[in-house]
C-alpha cells in the first residue's frame, strides 16, 4: 500500500512519521509545495520542534518514509491520499475574519482528480467546516475522471508539544465516512491501518459530518475551558480569591475534571481561534445566532485577557512604560514547541512596542520564528540567553510555560535588573512568594500580587 500525504506541516510530518514507524510495510510519501520545508525534513534541522519527533522520524526516513515536492508523481501511485494542508481563517471577501479559507483544500482535490491513476481513498486530515467532504467529492468526481474517490474525514487531535505521544497513544482515532458499501469498506481500510498500534475500541467510526464537526467542537470545548477559568481569574484578582485554589477545588469534581484549568494570559496556536471563528461562522450560516454568540464569547474573553495583562503592566509600572525595558521570556504559543502562530506573546510585544517600550525576546526554540513574525523593528531585540535578556530590564514577563523558566536563578536576574524590578507571570508557573522575597514585585494571573514598595493594585 502507498500512502501520500499532501502537506508537510505540524500535522503531516509527525502523523506520517508515526504511521511509517508503526506500519513498516506501507510506503509513505509526504509532499509539499514548499521546497524549503521538504529540504528541512530531509536534513538534520527539522522544520518544526517537537519532542521525540527526530527519533521516530529516523526509524523510517529513507526506508518507507519519504519527503518530496513531486506531488503529481506521488498521487499517480497512491492508494490513500491524506490531505493535511493549512486551512487558515479567510482574510478577504465574504466571511473574512471568520470562515475557513478552503482554497488549499480545493486545490488539492483538483490535483488529486487530475493525477489519480486508480480508485482512491481521500482522507481529510485538515480541520474543516462541516460538509466540506461533500464539496471535495463534487470536485473529485467532476469532469471526465473514470475513477471513484471515497472521501473520509479523519481529523487530527494531536496537541503540539506532545504530538508524538498523542499520536502513539491517542485518546481516540475518529473516522467518518459515507454509510454506503464503498464508504464502509474505505472506513475499515483506514481503521485497519490505525489498528497496527491503536486498540480497536479506540477507533471510532461515524458519519462524515459528525466527524468533521467533532474536531471543531473538540477545539471549541478546550478553548472554552481556558476562557472560563480566565474569566474566573479576573474575578479572583478583584476579590483576593486565588485562581489556583479555585481550579483545584472545582477540578476535583469528577464531572468537571482537573485538566486544562490553568489560568493564563490566554490560548494561542494556529487552531483554537480559527476553529472557533469557523464554528461561529457555520452557526450564523445556519441562522443559529445565539449559538454563534455563545462561541464568539470564548474568543472575546481570550482577547480581553491579553488586554488586561498589558493594562496591568502599564498601571503597575507607574502608568507609563515608555522608554522602559521589558524582557519577554517565551515567544512560542505554548511550551515544547517552536510554533508562534497566534502566540499571545506576539500581541503583547506589539502592544509594548506601541507604548515605546524597549523589548527583548528570549525563547529556547521559537526565536527564529519570532524573528520571522516580527521582522526588524525599532526598540526590539532577540536574545537566546534569558539572563542576558533580563539584564537592565525593568520588567521580566513570562509568556510561555517552558520548564526551564521554572528553574532560572531569579536572584541573579533580580541583581541584573533595574529597580524597582517587576515580574509578570503570564503562565502562573513560578513560586511567587519566594521570588518576591528576592526583591521582585510579582504579578501573577488571578492570584494575589506581591508588592514591596508599591501601592497594592
Ligand atoms: N497544528 C496543530 O496542532 C493541528 C492539530 C490538529 C489539526 N490541525 C489542522 O491540520 C491542518 C494542517 O495544520 P498544520 O499546522 O500542519 O499546517 P502547516 O501550515 O504547518 O502545514 C501545512 C502545509 O501544507 C502545505 N500546502 C498547502 N497547500 C498545499 C498544496 N496545494 N499542495 C501541497 N502542499 C500544500 C504548506 O506548504 C504547508 O507546509 C489544519 O487544517 C489544522 O487546523 C492542526
Q: Is 400 in the pocket of ligand 1 (CB under 6 A)?
A: no
Query: How many Å lie between the centroid of ligand 1 and the Cα of residue 412?
Result: 42
Predicted confidence at residue 144, as pLDDT, reads: 80
The pLDDT mean for the chain works out to: 96
454: confidence class by pLDDT, cuts 50, 70, 90:
low
Q: Is 84 in the pocket of ligand 1 (CB under 6 A)?
A: yes
Atom 15, ligand 1: which residue's CA is nearest?
10
Predicted confidence at residue 17, as pLDDT, reads: 98
Atom 17, ligand 1: which residue's CA is nearest?
86
Predicted confidence at residue 97, as pLDDT, reads: 92
Give the homologous superfamily in CATH for domain 2-198. Answer: NAD(P)-binding Rossmann-like Domain (3.40.50.720)
Predicted confidence at residue 145, as pLDDT, reads: 81
Query: How many Å lie between the centroid of ligand 1 and the Cα of residue 271?
Result: 11
Question: Residue 191: is its pLDDT beyond 70?
Answer: yes
Note if 271 is an active site residue.
Answer: yes
| Catalytic residue chosen out of the listed positions 5, 108, 271, 283 | 271
CB 231 within 8 A of CB 261: no
Predicted confidence at residue 211, as pLDDT, reads: 98
CA 261 centroid distance within chain = 17
Q: Go through the chain and tell me how many residues it has.
A: 457
Share of the chain above pLDDT 70, in %: 99
CB 343 within 8 A of CB 332: yes
Q: Is 291 in the pocket of ligand 1 (CB under 6 A)?
A: no
pTM for the full model? 0.96
143: confidence class by pLDDT, cuts 50, 70, 90:
confident
Q: Nearest 10 degrees: CA dihedral of 221, 224, 225, 230?
A: 170
Give the homologous superfamily in CATH for domain 305-443. Answer: NAD(P)-binding Rossmann-like Domain (3.40.50.720)
Considering the domain 216-303, what is its CATH architecture? Answer: Orthogonal Bundle (1.10)
What are the Cα distances from residue 39, in Å, to 45, 60, 66, 164, 368?
Answer: 9, 17, 11, 21, 17
Arithmetic mean of pLDDT, 282-302: 98
Spatial separation of the C-alpha atoms in residues 438 and 70, rounded to whole Å = 58
For CA atoms 126, 152, 54, 2, the dihedral sign is negative
10 Å CB burial of residue 384 (0-12, 13-18, 19+) is exposed
Residue (of 67, 84, 60) closest to 9 by Cα position: 84
Domain span(s) for CATH 3.40.50.720 in the chain: 2-198, 305-443
Q: Is 186 in the pocket of ligand 1 (CB under 6 A)?
A: no
pLDDT in tens, 76-88: 999 999 999 999 9
Ligand 1 atom closest to the CA of 275, numbered from 1 = 43
Q: Is 37 in the pocket of ligand 1 (CB under 6 A)?
A: yes
Tell me the pairing of strands 325-329 and 203-207: unpaired
Atom 12, ligand 1: which residue's CA is nearest?
86
Ligand 1 atom closest to the CA of 160, numbered from 1 = 3
Q: Is 110 in the pocket of ligand 1 (CB under 6 A)?
A: no
Spatial separation of the C-alpha atoms in residues 399 and 379, rounded to whole Å = 19
Spatial separation of the C-alpha atoms in residues 252 and 234, rounded to whole Å = 21
139: confidence class by pLDDT, cuts 50, 70, 90:
very high
Ligand 1 atom closest to the CA of 108, numbered from 1 = 31
Q: Is 123 in the pocket of ligand 1 (CB under 6 A)?
A: no
Query: How many Å lie between the centroid of ligand 1 and the Cα of residue 126?
Result: 7
Residue (of 374, 366, 363, 377) closest to 340 by Cα position: 366
CB 109 within 8 A of CB 139: yes
Predicted confidence at residue 239, as pLDDT, reads: 95
What backbone torsions phi and psi does residue 354 show, to the nearest 5 degrees?
A: -60, -35
Predicted confidence at residue 439, as pLDDT, reads: 96
Amino acid at each position: 500500500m502507498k500512502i501520500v500525504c499532501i502537506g508537510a506541516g505540524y500535522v503531516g510530518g509527525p502523523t506520517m512519521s508515526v504511521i511509517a514507524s508503526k506500519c513498516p510495510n506501507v510506503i509513505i510519501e509526504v509532499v509539499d509545495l514548499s521546497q524549503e520545508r521538504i529540504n528541512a525534513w530531509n536534513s538534520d534541522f527539522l522544520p518544526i520542534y517537537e519532542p521525540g519527533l527526530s527519533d521516530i522520524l529516523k526509524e523510517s526516513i529513507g526506508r518507507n518514509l519519504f519527503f518530496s515536492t513531486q506531488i503529481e508523481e506521488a498521487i499517480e501511485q497512491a492508494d490513500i491520499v491524506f490531505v493535511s494542508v493549512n486551512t487558515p481563517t479567510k482574510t478577504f471577501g465574504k466571511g473574512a475574519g471568520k470562515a475557513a479559507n478552503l482554497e488549499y483544500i480545493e486545490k488539492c482535490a483538483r490535483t488529486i482528480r487530475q493525477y489519480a491513476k486508480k480508485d482512491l481513498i481521500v482522507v481529510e486530515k485538515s480541520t474543516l467546516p462541516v460538509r466540506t467532504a461533500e464539496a471535495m467529492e463534487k470536485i473529485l468526481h467532476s469532469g471526465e475522471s473514470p475513477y471513484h474517490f471515497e472521501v473520509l474525514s479523519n481529523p487530527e487531535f494531536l496537541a503540539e508539544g506532545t504530538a508524538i505521544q498523542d499520536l502513539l497513544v491517542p485518546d481516540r482515532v475518529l473516522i467518518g465516512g459515507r454509510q454506503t458499501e464503498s464508504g464502509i469498506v474505505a472506513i475499515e481500510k483506514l481503521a485497519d491501518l490505525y489498528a497496527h498500534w491503536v486498540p480497536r475500541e479506540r477507533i471510532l467510526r461515524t458519519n462524515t459530518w459528525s466527524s468533521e464537526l467533532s474536531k471543531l467542537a473538540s477545539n471549541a470545548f478546550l478553548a472554552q475551558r481556558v476562557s472560563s477559568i480566565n474569566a474566573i481569574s479576573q474575578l479572583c484578582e478583584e476579590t483576593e480569591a486565588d485562581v489556583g485554589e479555585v481550579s483545584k477545588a472545582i477540578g476535583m469534581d469528577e464531572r468537571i475534571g482537573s485538566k486544562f484549568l490553568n489560568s493564563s494570559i490566554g490560548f494561542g496556536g494556529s487552531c483554537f481561534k480559527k476553529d472557533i471563528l469557523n464554528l461561529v461562522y457555520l452557526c450564523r450560516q445556519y441562522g443559529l445566532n445565539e449559538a454563534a454568540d455563545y462561541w464568539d464569547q470564548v474568543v472575546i474573553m481570550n482577547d480581553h485577557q491579553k488586554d488586561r495583562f498589558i493594562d496591568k503592566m502599564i498601571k503597575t509600572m507607574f502608568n507609563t512604560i515608555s522608554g522602559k525595558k521589558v524582557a519577554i521570556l517565551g515567544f512560542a504559543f505554548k511550551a515544547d514547541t517552536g510554533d508562534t502562530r497566534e502566540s499571545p506573546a506576539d500581541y503583547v510585544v506589539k502592544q509594548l512596542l506601541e507604548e515605546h517600550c524597549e523589548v527583548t525576546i528570549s525563547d529556547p526554540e521559537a526565536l527564529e520564528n519570532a524573528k520571522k513574525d516580527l521582522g526588524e523593528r525599532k526598540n526590539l531585540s532577540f536574545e537566546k540567553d534569558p539572563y542576558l535578556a533580563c539584564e537592565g530590564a525593568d520588567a521580566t514577563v513570562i509568556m510561555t510555560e517552558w520548564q526551564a523558566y521554572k528553574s532560572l536563578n531569579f536572584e541573579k536576574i533580580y541583581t541584573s535588573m533595574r529597580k524597582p524590578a517587576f515580574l509578570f507571570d503570564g503562565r502562573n508557573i513560578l513560586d511567587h512568594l519566594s521570588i518576591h522575597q528576592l526583591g521582585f514585585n510579582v504579578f501573577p494571573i488571578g492570584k494575589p500580587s506581591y508588592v514591596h514598595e508599591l501601592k497594592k493594585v
